[in-house]
Structure 1
Amino acid sequence: MPNIALLGSGGGERAMLGLLGSLVQLKKCDLLDCMLYLSGISGSTWCMASLYRESEWSAKLDTVQDAIVKRLNGPEVTWTDSWIKLKKYHKRDNFSLTDFWAVMFVSSIVKEIDEDGVTHQRDYHTKDPYPVYAVIDDQCKRESLDSDAWFEITPHEAGYSLTGAFVDSAYLGSQFKNGTSVKKQPEIDMLYLQGFCGSALADETEIKKWLWEEMKKIISCGEESSQACQVLLTLAELNLCVLKDEDPTSLITTMTELLKGKLDKHGRAMFISAQELLHERKSAILEQFTLTICENFGDWFKVQDTAGWIAIDIVKLITRWIWGTTYDFLYDMEVEDVHPSVLTEKERYYEDAGLLINSPYFPMLREERDIDLIISLDFSAGDPMETVVKTSQMCKELKIPFPGVKLPDNITEPDDFYVFKGCDKTPTVIHIPLFNKVNCDGHIQDWASKYSTFQQAYSPDLISDLIKKAGENVINTKEKILKEIAKIVEQKQSKVH
């Protein structure tokens, strides 16, 4: 049998439901048992997290699907439960926007707080594809260290896919120095992992607007003086105002009055003018103003309660844009093939892999996995062929076996099935876009416009329609998939004989 990897791209709830519908139909078509690995990023990991809560989910997929859909159509997580969970996260080392995002956004979509650790999935799924969750190392992405950028988490290990440096998954997030555990941290749970993987569902400005709006809920929980709460609320509104390119004059007047007589640590009065916030460098100016308020807030208002400190910390994180802070398990080590910059910092920052390539090809291209066939289910917004094209280009640069990808010019409506092949050591790649000319029958844009990546939870009708639409792709391409599998089996048999 060939080693087959099934990939689910990013795409928020669209990807979550698209992967679910595809898996259900793969089961009905007797194709799911062929899959050795199931790998996802972003929204696809939300589906995976739901599936792998159930032991041997592939043997009872209809029942599991019904339970997931019922949950998604049910009530949201209560504010009380969200607040309790956020306070737990805040007590851990390396609190970041990922914690806030997981609790406030991801739980509102998946409608649960899953506190199981990923190691809970060990030896629990002998009949299921092996799960591989993927993120990227933000510093490596910024430094264009593409071979070190891809980071995977499985029930057994977590680490750098291509360079091969791993730690036991139970210790991901714990503090190490020179390969020795210095400080054990609680194992990251599946809610956090879903936030970890799915943190780039819109452009930065839109996410910042959402985060500031959510911040106002946290501020309202505070027990501090009304003046302290008003300063934070006004600060949130001021940041929102600038993000929306609105006139900040009235908010600045309010803030000036609230901060009257307040001095920073250098004895300077707190002041910002509307003229400064109309300047082309307004973001940097407001950022410094916001951080200065945070640095002095505790002294000004003698902050006592948990909500106040959580609010201040989140304001700092939004302003500095810090996601996925994690102790570096490779800190102060010497590891062959790993870039020195990965070894010299106490913390690393991990985020949604969609910020690099919106599909987890590279974890599946580890030489040890010896993958013969990759089936890519693409739920991306925008260009449905971008992931496979970019992967092919990057593999060429990194000298990783991957087929060349040549497409016809000006594809206005994608087909439902593409196959790319290379030489003997290169995996065959099947690429299936979610919305295509076959299952959408000339209405691709209509379907795409109904399912935004960054929006509130889908309605029951949207959920059922999308699951069905994704399943149609499997039905329509089943014979082509079987044909490619048969070819690989024949090739492997000929090598044996």
Structure 2
Amino acid sequence: MLRIGAAFPGIGTLLLRQGWANCGLGAASGPLDVLIWPLSSCQVEGSGACPTPARSQGAGSGACPTLLMLWLCMAPGSSVSQSNCYVSLWLPTASAERVRTKTIKNCRDPVWNETFYFRIQSQVKNVLELAIFDEDIVQDDGHFIVLFDIAKIPLGETIFMKFQLNPQVRTDITSRVSWEDLDVRLGFELCVEEQDFLHKRKKVVAASLKKVLQLEEDLQDDEVPVVAFMTTGGGTRALTAMYAHLLSIQKLNVLDCISYVTGLSGTTWTMSNLYEDPDWSQKDMEASVSDARKHVIKNKFLACFSMDRLKYYVKELQQRKQEGHKICFTDLWGLIIEAMLHDGEDQHKLTDQQQALSRGQNPLPIYLVLNVKDKISNQDFREWMEFTPYEVGLLKYGAFIRAENFGSEFFMGRLMKKLPESRICFLEGIWSSVFSLNLMDAWYISFESEEFWHKWTQDRVIDIEEEPVLPTRPSTLTTRVVSPPDSLSTVFRDVLMLRPAVSEIHNFLKGCQMHNNYLENEFSRWKDCELDGHPNQLTGAADHLALVDTAFAFETSYPPLMRPERKVDLILHFNYSSGSQIAPLIKASKYFSEQGIPFPKIVPGEEEAKSPKECYIVGDKEGPETPVVLLFPLVNDTFRNYKAPGVKRSPSEMAEGEIDVANINGSYNINNLRYSEEDFDKLAKLSYYNVQNNKDLILQALRIAVERKKQHRNSLKPHTPL
């Protein structure tokens, strides 16, 4: 059993002991004993005898499963004023209910003389939360929360500890777990299908590189670089410009050199439409651009809000609810996107895109969203989630499910209820939900700072374990104190953090205890989540995932490409976001540097944002582990005076070169869903031209990537001694 005595709120003394409780013989001191069974309410015994649980299978005679017994008192002489103190205790892995001591009135040294029993399971992460409250008529005041990992307690020993509740140290803790034979694949390696695709795609890329770079010899498999086409968000302007960029890349015979295409927000619309055709990159893309033009210039109100279309929305949402999906506004938004970009109902699903990868004939598409928490800013908590035609997964945990099972119900890694696979339009609603940001996110987008609001909305979390008193184990957390916000801050939090239209999807990590080896291993390389120090708030404890558009927090779709398993060598960065065309790359460089992930550190500065060039190459002067990045800002530079590379405009053609893509309130602002024919044509021609005009830089970057692969291959060859 585990016995705990605690003193609050100054310095606390803790008596800890864990072992097998002989429940037939033991007796608890004090007038109240409480036994909490898993998934049940508390059982209160009025006597001092230890309540006897049912004997567990495999337990020895006269023994019961490990019990957690807590004894609480106030340290004599604590420097606190007269108060009505009580302590609330919660062990989420033992019970959903919280228990509490009685209130000691007007006392600065209260002794509760109460004992609490919890039945614990050692195979899960057991973190005890002890909250200290001052009882009040209107609302009880919470002073501190102590988070204690009971795995610290050696079996059968008695240990005394002191907690200093006003320390200065703070730590962050992460973890990872890997299991086999589950419906959730836990592991950071690429799935078998993606590995098979890369093997096939490598042959296509090798042949294309030999042709484009005019190589004399065929490339060996380990000499073929992995090239990615990376995009940002930007609504209709992102959709339009991406079509034109892909067409221009195709005309340079470089499209077959690319293995991955990543997107978020508006570029997911382009990707979804293209992959309806299994051979889209092998055909002339001018037809695809023409089809996109037809939908971009059409009247969106008539297409999306006719009476027949509204009836169709109701029917589809009712059917989706009957199937077992949790209906939200993004489902309606997905149906509106379907109406904007198609003539009728689109029956395609994400898994249908596997046909476009079966022979390695197209790059692998990766769609990116964020999993967030209610009442928490995207900058404080965000988990990258990627979608491919094969799998959907959270990068942080290395947890993936089959793409056709996304939205189904899981528990402890097992598929409990299979739901029909969602049509691609519903996924587009999630990937590009412009309605999922809260006021805090909007503030960050406007000013890129949340420091002021954090003072009002964040709990203060402090590590109080200066020197470990107990033997350390890799899976244990440091003991921490949480100071909750006051009532005014709580009101601010509720208003600022409200998400009116977030996508809620059944959590495929529900019931998974992502806790083993917290200190020994990391979840992965993503360390930017404040809640990692709170295992009771990890994703495995949530019923639903809250998915939002990535563009509100990060703007680029780099994260899936930074997985070391993908070994990306060259990234073509096409920027479609509004505002600074350099800032997204600067932000990505800073972010990955903080994460310890190889990424170019020498990037164009903010001064370049005032007059950006058409193309930048970065990372080529850094180490071989750093990918080379070719940045294409969406700018109108030489296009003003040239209609094609080296071909100047005549005086009568100068008006065609006048296009303002920098004005965030102009024709190409990201909230504009409909373009005129002239606006579409100008944006498409500008995007096409900027790629054609920088052909030499593209070929230079490809040569660098090939040369790096050859150098790496040669470095692995055994040297012959002289």
- TM-score w.r.t. the length of structure 2 is 0.51
SS of alignment partner, residue 410 of structure 1: helix
1:156 is aligned to 390
What are the Cα deviations for residues 164-202 of structure 1, in whole angstroms up to 9, with x where unaligned?
A: 211111111111110111222221221112111111389
SS of alignment partner, residue 151 of structure 1: strand
Shift of 1:493: 1.3
1:416 aligns with 2:614: yes
Give the counterpart of 2:508 among 329, 337, 345. 329
- The correspondence of residues 254-269 of structure 1 with structure 2, limited to 5 A, is none
Shift of 1:107: 3.2
- The correspondence of residues 192-231 of structure 1 with structure 2, limited to 5 A, is 192-200=426-434
- The correspondence of residues 55-94 of structure 1 with structure 2, limited to 5 A, is 55-60=278-283, 61-74=285-298, 76-77=303-304, 78-90=306-318, 91=321, 92-94=324-326
**Contact between 1:11 and 1:201, CA under 8 Å: does it hold in 2?**
no
2:276 is aligned to 53
- Tell me how far apart the structure 2 counterparts of residues 454 and 144 of structure 1 sit (CA, whole Å): 23
2:327 is aligned to 95
- Tell me how far apart the structure 1 counterparts of residues 247 and 510 of structure 2 sit (CA, whole Å): 42
Shift of 1:367: 1.0
**Contact between 2:436 and 2:548, CA under 8 Å: does it hold in 1?**
no
- Tell me how far apart the structure 1 counterparts of residues 354 and 707 of structure 2 sit (CA, whole Å): 33
Give the counterpart of 1:136 among 370, 390, 397. 370
Shift of 1:145: 6.1
2:236 is aligned to 13
Give the counterpart of 1:437 among 631, 637, 648. 637
Shift of 1:116: 1.4
What are the Cα deviations for residues 215-239 of structure 1, in whole angstroms up to 9, with x where unaligned?
A: xxxxxxxxxxxxxxxxxxxxxxxxx
Are the structure 2 counterparts of residues 199 and 32 from structure 1 closer, same or farther at C-alpha, using a change threshold of 3 Å? same
- Tell me how far apart the structure 2 counterparts of residues 110 and 104 of structure 1 sit (CA, whole Å): 10
**Contact between 1:201 and 1:454, CA under 8 Å: does it hold in 2?**
no
Are the structure 2 counterparts of residues 407 and 71 from structure 1 closer, same or farther at C-alpha, using a change threshold of 3 Å? closer
What are the Cα deviations for residues 275-321 of structure 1, in whole angstroms up to 9, with x where unaligned?
A: xxxxxx9xx89x99xxxxxxxxxxxxxxxxxxxxxxxxxxxxxx861
- Tell me how far apart the structure 2 counterparts of residues 22 and 143 of structure 1 sit (CA, whole Å): 30
**Contact between 1:5 and 1:374, CA under 8 Å: does it hold in 2?**
yes
SS of alignment partner, residue 123 of structure 1: helix
Shift of 1:109: 5.5
**Contact between 1:56 and 1:127, CA under 8 Å: does it hold in 2?**
yes
- Tell me how far apart the structure 1 counterparts of residues 676 and 384 of structure 2 sit (CA, whole Å): 34
- Tell me how far apart the structure 2 counterparts of residues 487 and 446 of structure 1 sit (CA, whole Å): 31
- The correspondence of residues 176-187 of structure 1 with structure 2, limited to 5 A, is 176-187=410-421
Give the counterpart of 2:596 among 373, 378, 399. 399
What are the Cα deviations for residues 355-401 of structure 1, in whole angstroms up to 9, with x where unaligned?
A: 11111001111111100001110001011112111111111111111
1:170 is aligned to 404
Are the structure 2 counterparts of residues 344 and 409 from structure 1 closer, same or farther at C-alpha, using a change threshold of 3 Å? closer
SS of alignment partner, residue 243 of structure 2: helix
Query: What letter matches 1:418 in structure 2?
Result: Y
**Contact between 1:13 and 1:109, CA under 8 Å: does it hold in 2?**
no
1:477 is aligned to 694
Query: What letter matches 1:189 in structure 2?
Result: R
- The correspondence of residues 285-434 of structure 1 with structure 2, limited to 5 A, is 321-335=500-514, 337-338=522-523, 339=532, 340=535, 341-411=538-608, 412-421=610-619, 422-434=622-634
**Contact between 1:435 and 1:444, CA under 8 Å: does it hold in 2?**
no
SS of alignment partner, residue 693 of structure 2: helix
More strand as a share of residues: 2
- Tell me how far apart the structure 1 counterparts of residues 438 and 640 of structure 2 sit (CA, whole Å): 31
Shift of 1:453: 0.5
SS of alignment partner, residue 632 of structure 2: strand
Long gaps (5+) in structure 1: 209-280, 289-318
1:260 is aligned to none
Are the structure 2 counterparts of residues 31 and 353 from structure 1 closer, same or farther at C-alpha, using a change threshold of 3 Å? same
SS of alignment partner, residue 349 of structure 1: strand
Shift of 1:63: 2.7
**Contact between 2:292 and 2:341, CA under 8 Å: does it hold in 1?**
no
**Contact between 1:82 and 1:104, CA under 8 Å: does it hold in 2?**
no
SS of alignment partner, residue 356 of structure 2: coil
SS of alignment partner, residue 259 of structure 2: strand
Shift of 1:323: 1.2
Shift of 1:88: 2.1
Query: What letter matches 1:35 in structure 2?
Result: I
- Tell me how far apart the structure 2 counterparts of residues 470 and 165 of structure 1 sit (CA, whole Å): 37
- The correspondence of residues 455-474 of structure 1 with structure 2, limited to 5 A, is 455-474=672-691
**Contact between 1:11 and 1:42, CA under 8 Å: does it hold in 2?**
yes
Are the structure 2 counterparts of residues 163 and 428 from structure 1 closer, same or farther at C-alpha, using a change threshold of 3 Å? farther
**Contact between 2:227 and 2:259, CA under 8 Å: does it hold in 1?**
yes
- Tell me how far apart the structure 2 counterparts of residues 330 and 121 of structure 1 sit (CA, whole Å): 25
- Tell me how far apart the structure 2 counterparts of residues 161 and 444 of structure 1 sit (CA, whole Å): 39
Query: What letter matches 1:345 in structure 2?
Result: A
- Tell me how far apart the structure 1 counterparts of residues 258 and 546 of structure 2 sit (CA, whole Å): 31
Are the structure 2 counterparts of residues 425 and 109 from structure 1 closer, same or farther at C-alpha, using a change threshold of 3 Å? same
Query: What letter matches 2:271 in structure 1?
Result: M
Query: What letter matches 2:697 in structure 1?
Result: K
SS of alignment partner, residue 357 of structure 1: coil
Shift of 1:331: 0.7
Bigger relative contact order, structure 1 or 2 (CA pairs below 8 A, ≥6 apart): 1
- Tell me how far apart the structure 1 counterparts of residues 401 and 268 of structure 2 sit (CA, whole Å): 21
User: Which range moved further: 160-169 or 39-48?
Assistant: 160-169
**Contact between 2:265 and 2:550, CA under 8 Å: does it hold in 1?**
yes
**Contact between 2:575 and 2:631, CA under 8 Å: does it hold in 1?**
yes
SS of alignment partner, residue 122 of structure 1: helix
Shift of 1:477: 1.1
What number of residue pairs does the alignment pair up? 391
Give the counterpart of 1:34 among 252, 257, 267. 257
Give the % identical residues.
Answer: 26
1:104 is aligned to 336
More helix as a share of residues: 1
Give the counterpart of 2:668 among 438, 447, 451. 451
RMSD, aligned CA: 3.0
- Tell me how far apart the structure 2 counterparts of residues 30 and 450 of structure 1 sit (CA, whole Å): 32
- Tell me how far apart the structure 1 counterparts of residues 436 and 690 of structure 2 sit (CA, whole Å): 26
- Tell me how far apart the structure 2 counterparts of residues 202 and 159 of structure 1 sit (CA, whole Å): 20
Query: What letter matches 2:265 in structure 1?
Result: S
